[in-house]
Chains A and B, each alone.
Chain A
C-alpha cells in the first residue's frame, strides 16, 4: 500500500532497551573461553540420580499476571505503518499499564480485574490511533481470562482528539461493528501477526 507516512521519522527503541522481566541470577558470560562451561560449571552440579531432572521447573513458582505480562502481550503488536512494534515505538509503555486490583492480592482467582492500557501515539494527530487501540483491545481480549475487563484509552493529552478515540474504543458496539469490517479486521490481523 503506497501512501505517505503520517510520521516519517518516529523514535525507535532498541529491542534490548525495552522493559523485560529480569532473569534470575547473574547473566552468563559468553566469552571465547566459555565452550565447556556447561560441563565444568554446570547449571545442576549434581548430575546423577533422579534429582537432576526434577529441577526443570525453576520457573514454575506462583507468578500472577502483572503489568509486565500485559506489556509483553501487547508490545509485540506491529505498528500499522512502520515495520516496528508498538513497544519499540513507545506507543505502549510499561508505566501506562494498570491492573486494578492486582491479581496477586486477590483472594479469589475469579474476581474481576480491570486492565487499563493508556496508549501514546507517536504524533498527536495520528489517524491510526483507533486502529492501534482496536488491535490492543483485540489482543488482550484474545489472551486474557474472562474475568479481566479491558479498557484501552489514549493517554491524556497525547492525541488531539483523545475524547473521541476513547469513546470509540470504549464502546463495545462500535468495537464489534469495526471488527465486522473486513478491511479493518485484516489490518488488525496483520498487526497481530508478530505476536508470539
Chain B
C-alpha cells in the first residue's frame, strides 16, 4: 500500500514524462507479480485516495475558491493519470473481469462527478480497460451510459480529451460483441444514440469530426435505428454539409477534402437515409448562384456516392430520379464550368448504371426505360436548336452509352433523331455538332463492344441480336450526303464538318458486330468499306492531278484528317490498303517523271509520305470482313514495299545527280521505303514493346542465301497471296518478336533488291540523294539485326559485294561514290562481332583504310573518311584473334603516321586539296581508333605534333584539322554499334592537346614563334570540337591562348588564321556560359580582342568574316550579365559605341545579336 502511495506521490510531483512512465511500469510490474491479487489491486487503486477526497465536494464551490483549488485539480488529474498510465502498460490479461468491472465503475463515475480533473485520465483508462482480455460486452454498455452522463460539459473538455472519448466510442460501437449487446438491449429505438447525439452534437474540431462522422455512419449502417432516430442522426451530420475547413497556420494533417469524404460517407452509409438525403442535397443544389463551384461539386459527388452505395434502387433511388434529373439537367444545358458539367454527367451515368443492375443481377428493364425516356423527352427537341445541340446530345449520349442495355434499346432512335436533324441543319456548326454526337456514339459503341466480356451475359446476347439497319445505312444516308455537299469548295467551318465526316467514316469502318456464333466481324460490308476507302483516297491523291494554280492555300487539315482516317480504315479493312496502293500506283504511273516541276515533286513527296504513314505507322489488327482472306500483321508493309519497288524507277535517268540539286522523283521513292522501315519499326515497338525488338533470333539462318532462291518479284507474289506456303515467310501469328523478325527479313530483301539494282553498272535512276537514303535505310535494317544474323548472312562480305553473289568483291574495281555509299550503309549498321572477317592481313579493312586513291570529288573523300572511321573503330579483338589480325590496324595507323610525316615535310605540296582529302581520311581513321582508346594511337601522337609544327603549308592544314579526332561523328554512336569508351575524348585531349598548352604560349622559351603558333592552332581546333568538360581543368593556360588567337594572325594563311579566330570565339562563348569566373582577370583582353575582331571583319565580306562578327558580338553580349559591374564599367563607353555601330551591320543575323548585346551593355553603369 505504502509503496503504491509513494509511487503515486512521485508521479504527481513529477513533470517528466519518461520518469512518469518508469513509475507506472513499476506499479504495473507489482500488480503483475502478484497476479492481480485483490489486495494489491485495491491498494493500487486506493493509492490516489488522498487526492480524491475533495472530488466529492461541490464543484461549483471549488471553482470559486482560491488557487489552491486549481492546484488540487491538477494533482487529482495527475493522480488519475497515474492509474490510467499503469493500465496502459499493464499486461492485458492480468486483471480479472470483476476487477475490470469495478475499475470501469470507478472511472465511469468520474464522468458524473469530476468534469474538471477526471475526464482525460478516465477516458484513457476506459480505453485501456476496453482492451483488457476480461472485458465483457455488457461492460461496453455501462461505459457508454456512464460517459454520456457528462452531458453539456463534454464541450468544455479540451479537444484532445474529446478525441480520446470519440475513439473510445468508435472502438465500442464497431466491436461486434458490444454492438450486438447494444442492439439486444435497446432494439431499434437506440436510446443510447440519442444520449450520444446530445453529448457530441456541437463538435467543431476537424480531427474529432473525422472520428465522429465515422461513428455516425456506423450507427446508421449497422444499428438499424428507427425512423425517428435515423432522422435525428441525419439532422446531426447534414447540419455540417457542405463542410469546409478554414486554412490554418499550423497544419493538422487533415484537408477539407478528407472532411468532405467522411461526411459523404455518412450520406451514403445506408439507403435508410435516402428519403432525407436526396431532397436535402437537391435543395442545396437548387439554391442557384449562391452555390460555388466547389460546393456544387461536393453536392454532385455526394449524390453520386449515394446512388452508387444504396442498395435496392427500386425503393431508394427510383422515387428520386425525376427530381434529380430536373435539377441536374440545367447544369449541363446551361452550365459553363467544365468540372460541374463532368460531375453532373457522372451522376446521370451512375443512375443509368444503377438502374441496369449489376454484372450478376439485372433489374427490371422498365426502370432503365423510364429513366432514359425521361431524359430523351427533355433533350430531343434541343437537338434541333443549334445553341443546345451539343449539350442535349451530351446528356442523351451519357445515359444511352452508360451500359449495353441502354445502348441497344435507344441507339437506333437516337441516331434517327440525329439523322432527321442533319437533313435540315441550321448552320454548318450545327451539322458539325450533330456529326460529333454521332461519332461519339460510334466511339462509345466500340468501347461497349470491347468491354462486353466484363458485362452480364444477357448483354452479349442483346449485342448479337442488335438491329443493324440504322448503322448499315449511316454511310449512304448520313455521311455521304454531307460529304458531297461540302467537299466542293469548303470554307473554314465546312472544313470542320468534313473533318467530322472523315472521323465518322473511320469509326464506322472500325465497328464490329457479333455473328450468331459469337465471333466478331466488321459491321460494314466490303463494298461500303471500299467505297469509304476510295472517297478518302481521292482526297489525298488529288494533289497529284491538280496544277499549282488550283491549290492556293496551305491548309491541309482535311487531307491530314483523311490520312488519319484512312489509317484507321485500313487497319480494320485490310483490303483497303491494296486498293489505295493500286490507285496511287496508277496515279503516279500515269504521269511523266522525266522532267517534273517542283510542284509535281512536292505532290509526289506528300503522297508517298502519306501512303507510307497510312500503311506502316500501325500494325494492322486481325479483323477482316472476309474470313477467307488470310491475315498477316505485315501485309500493309509488304503491299507498300512491293508497290514502291514496282514503280521504281520513276524515270530511267535521274534528272538531278548531285544531292544539292534537290531531291528527284526516284529519290522520293527510296526515301519512302526508308520511312516505311522507320515507321513500322516504331509501330512494332509501340504494339509489342521494346523487348520484342531486342529478343535474339532463335536460329541463325542465312537469309541472303534464301533470297537467292526467291524470284525478284517475291514481294509482289506474297502481296497477292500472303499465306502461300512457298512465300518464304513462316506463317505468322501475333507474336511480337516473330513479326519483327519477319519484318527485318523483308527489309533486308528490299535492301538487297535495291543494292543489286544500284550496283548493276548503269547509274541510271540512282542519284546522290537516292543513294544516301538507300545507304541509311540499309544501315537501319542492318543495325536492327542481332549479331548472329549479321554473321550468318555474312553481311560484312556483302558490304563490299552488294549481294551480287560474284566471287570477287566488287568494290575493289570501283572506288566511285556509288559503291562507297553502298558499302558505308552496311558497315554503319554492323556490330563489331560481325566484322571480324574484315581484319585479315591484307583484307578489306587494311586495303580500304590504308591507301591514297585519287578522288574525283570531295564527296568521295568524305565517304572514304567515314568508312575509315568505322573500320578503325569496330575492331573488337578477342582472346582467339590471331596475332596477325591484331597487327592490321597497327599497320594502318603506322601507314598514316608515315604518310603524314612525309607529306607535311614536302616543302611545296603538289596538290593541297588532295592532301586535305587524304589527311581527313587519316584523321578519321585515328578518330575511329581513339574512340575505343586503342593504345596504338598514342604512338602516333608525337608524329602528329611534329607534323603539325612542320613549317610547310601541309603542316598548317594538318594543325588546323586535328580537331577532327575529337569532333562528334554521327557514325560513331551506340545506335550504330560503334565501340565508344566513355572518356575517350578526355583521353585524346590529355595526350594530344594538353602537352601542347605550354609550348603553344606566345614567347614560349623552347619553341620558335612558328611552332608556338601552329600548336595554338592545333589546340584550338581540338578544344573547339570537344565538350567543355574535357578542357575545363586547363582554363588558365587555355584562356591565354584564346586571347592571343583573337589578336595574332601572323605566320598563318588567311584561311587558317580566321578558322583559328572562329574556334577561339566559340570556345570563349562556351567558357562564358559554363565558367565565366575564369575570365575575370582577362576581361580587358577579351573585350579588346572581340572588339578588334569585329572591327577588322566589319569591312570585309564572306561567310567566315560574318561568323566572326556574330561570334565576337556574342562573346561581348555574354559579359555584362556574368560579372560584377565594377569589373565591366570601365569598358562600357567604348564597347557601347562599337555596338551602336554594329546595329547597322549589313547582315541581319549579326544585327540581331548586336541589338541583344547592346541591350545588355546598356544596363551597365545605369
Contact = CB atoms under 8 A, between A and B. Distances in A.
Interface of A: 26-27, 29, 31-37, 39-41, 45-51, 54, 57, 59-65, 69, 103, 109, 142-148
Contacts of A62: 1101, 1146-1147
Contacts of B1158: 142-143
A33 B563 contact: yes
Complex A-B, nearest 6 residue pairs according to Cβ-Cβ distance, in ascending order: A49-B862, A145-B1144, A33-B613, A45-B659, A40-B671, A48-B862
B24 interface: no
Given A32-B560, A33-B610, A143-B1143, A48 B863 contact: yes
A142 B602 contact: no
Given A31-B559, A32-B613, A147-B1144, A49 B1101 contact: no
Given A31-B563, A33-B610, A49 B679 contact: no
A147 B1143 CA distance: 10
B773 interface: yes
A36 B679 CA distance: 8
Contacts of A64: 1146
A41 B1144 contact: no
Interface in B1107-1166: 1107, 1140-1144, 1146-1149, 1151, 1155, 1158-1159, 1162
Given A27-B554, A40-B678, A41-B663, A60 B970 contact: no
B1147 A61 contact: yes
20 contacts: A31-B559, A31-B563, A31-B609, A32-B564, A33-B613, A36-B675, A39-B678, A45-B768, A46-B862, A47-B970, A49-B920, A57-B1103, A60-B1147, A61-B1147, A63-B1146, A142-B1159, A143-B1143, A143-B1155, A145-B1140, A145-B1143
A56 to B, nearest CB: 9
A50 B554 CA distance: 35
B605 interface: yes
B1147 A63 contact: yes
Contacts of A109: 1144, 1146
B556 interface: yes
B397 interface: no
B776 interface: yes
Given A39-B675, A63-B1147, A142-B1162, 17 more contacts: A27-B554, A31-B609, A33-B609, A33-B613, A33-B617, A36-B675, A39-B674, A39-B776, A49-B859, A57-B1106, A60-B1106, A62-B1101, A62-B1146, A103-B1144, A144-B1143, A146-B1140, A148-B1144
Nearest to B777: A40
A40 B769 CA distance: 10
B709 interface: no
Contacts of A57: 1103, 1106-1107
A27 B610 CA distance: 17
A68 to B, nearest CB: 10
B701 to A, nearest CB: 30
B685 interface: no
A154 B1048 CA distance: 52
A100 B1142 CA distance: 20
A86 B50 CA distance: 89
Contacts of B602: 26
B1013 interface: no
A101 B1159 CA distance: 26
A79 B617 CA distance: 48
B849 interface: no
B861 interface: yes
Interface of B is mostly: helix
B1034 interface: no
Given A29-B606, A63-B1147, A142-B1158, A40 B675 contact: yes
B866 interface: yes
Nearest to A59: B1149
Nearest to B1101: A62
B672 A40 contact: yes
A146 to B, nearest CB: 5
B1103 A60 contact: yes
Contacts of A63: 1146-1148
Given A31-B560, A40-B773, A49 B1106 contact: no
A147 B1140 CA distance: 9
Interface residues of B, number: 57
B64 interface: no
B772 A45 contact: yes
Nearest to B564: A32
A102 B344 CA distance: 65
B1146 to A, nearest CB: 5
B931 to A, nearest CB: 17
Contacts of A39: 674-675, 678, 776
Contacts of A103: 1144
Nearest to A61: B1147
B720 to A, nearest CB: 27
Nearest to A49: B862
A1 to B, nearest CB: 25
Interface string B561-586: 00110000000000000000000000
Contacts of B1149: 59-60
B850 interface: no
B600 to A, nearest CB: 13
B398 to A, nearest CB: 30
A163 B1158 CA distance: 34
Contacts of B862: 46, 48-51
Contacts of B668: 41
A51 B858 contact: yes
Contacts of B679: 35-36
Interface centre among A40, A46, A62, by most chain B C-beta atoms within 10 angstroms, is: A40
B66 interface: no
Contacts of A142: 1158-1159, 1162
Contacts of B1106: 57, 60
Interface in B99-120: none
A59 B1103 CA distance: 10
B628 to A, nearest CB: 32
B678 A65 contact: no
Interface string B915-948: 0000010000000000000000000000000000
B17 interface: no
Contacts of A61: 1147
Contacts of A50: 862, 920
B668 to A, nearest CB: 8
B612 interface: yes
Contacts of A48: 859, 862-863, 865-866
B827 to A, nearest CB: 13
B75 to A, nearest CB: 65
Contacts of B612: 33
B67 interface: no
B1107 A49 contact: no
Contacts of B559: 31
A182 to B, nearest CB: 14
B903 to A, nearest CB: 19
A91 B973 CA distance: 54
A145 B602 CA distance: 43
A140 to B, nearest CB: 10
Contacts of B865: 48-49
A102 to B, nearest CB: 13
A109 B1143 CA distance: 12
Contact of B556 (A29, A46, A49, A148): A29
B654 to A, nearest CB: 13
Contacts of A145: 1140-1144
A21 B815 CA distance: 46
Contacts of B675: 36, 39-40
Contacts of B672: 40
Interface centre among A33, A46, A54, by most chain B C-beta atoms within 10 angstroms, is: A33
Nearest to B606: A29
A24 B986 CA distance: 41
Contacts of A143: 1143, 1155, 1158
Contacts of A54: 1103
